[in-house]
Amino acid sequence: MLGFLEKVRDYTKEAVSAAKYLFDGLSVTFDHMRRRPVTVQYPYEKLIPSERYRGRIHYEFDKCIACEVCVRVCPINLPVVDWVMNKETKKKELRNYSIDFGACIFCGNCVEYCPTNCLSMTEEYELAAFDRHSLNYDNVALGRLPTSVTSDPSVRPLRELAYLPEGIMDPHDLPPNQKRAGKLPTQIIKELQEEISQGKDTVDSTDMVPNKSNSTN
């Protein structure tokens, strides 16, 4: 009889611990049901890239003065500026300009230091190609205007998932004026600027208050 009771006790212990492990595993699953999605149905849906996204570089041939600053500031001296000196005018003549996106690390140095602003970073990130040599963009390919997620009719643009309104799990069909859960960087900057201007106003107004000790003297 005692042996039977011990068996029952052991069995119950094992059943309880198995149920505990099962519940631990399921708690992770249930926890994910309360979380926001982190994936989109690419390529039918795409997230709108942030304002300062560093994608494919756009280049304007007409603005370039062949100064080669972009080459010097590039960590791998990547841009190729092909120019010849015109002996009559004693000026550089630009022939070609190219950047190999197979090697570019999209650091943005060239864009930052270009004196004529003929380089800019776009929101284009789909640069995959079958041949690595086709990633070497010449001035014509670099001059192509970028595609935008919001203006592409075949794509459904989605807002950033991190800024979904509170309690909303699905990023589809959101009313545009609904309050966001988080603030956009632009909103934070605006608030900071307002705070700074208010602070200045306060400082200015305190400066204008006459100093009592001085006025009494």
| Residues in touch with ligand SF4 (CB under 6 A) | 64-70, 74-76, 78-79, 81, 99, 104-110, 114-116, 118-119
Between the two ends of the chain, the Cα-to-Cα distance in Å is 106
Minimum gap (Å) between residue 134 Cβ and ligand SF4: 17
Q: How many angstroms separate the CA atoms of 28 and 7, rounded?
A: 32
Q: 81 vs 158, which CB is nearer to ligand SF4?
A: 81
Eight-state DSSP code of residue 180? P
Backbone angles phi, psi at 39, to 5 degrees: -125, 155
Other CB atoms within 10 Å distance of the CB of residue 78: 19
Share in percent of the chain as helix, strand, coil (round to 5): 40, 15, 45
Minimum gap (Å) between residue 211 Cβ and ligand SF4: 54
CA distances from 192 to 184, 188, 196 (A): 13, 6, 6
Minimum gap (Å) between residue 122 Cβ and ligand SF4: 12
Q: Is 73 in contact with 157 (CB distance < 8 Å)?
A: no
Minimum gap (Å) between residue 101 Cβ and ligand SF4: 8
Minimum gap (Å) between residue 113 Cβ and ligand SF4: 7
Q: 66 vs 161, which CB is nearer to ligand SF4?
A: 66
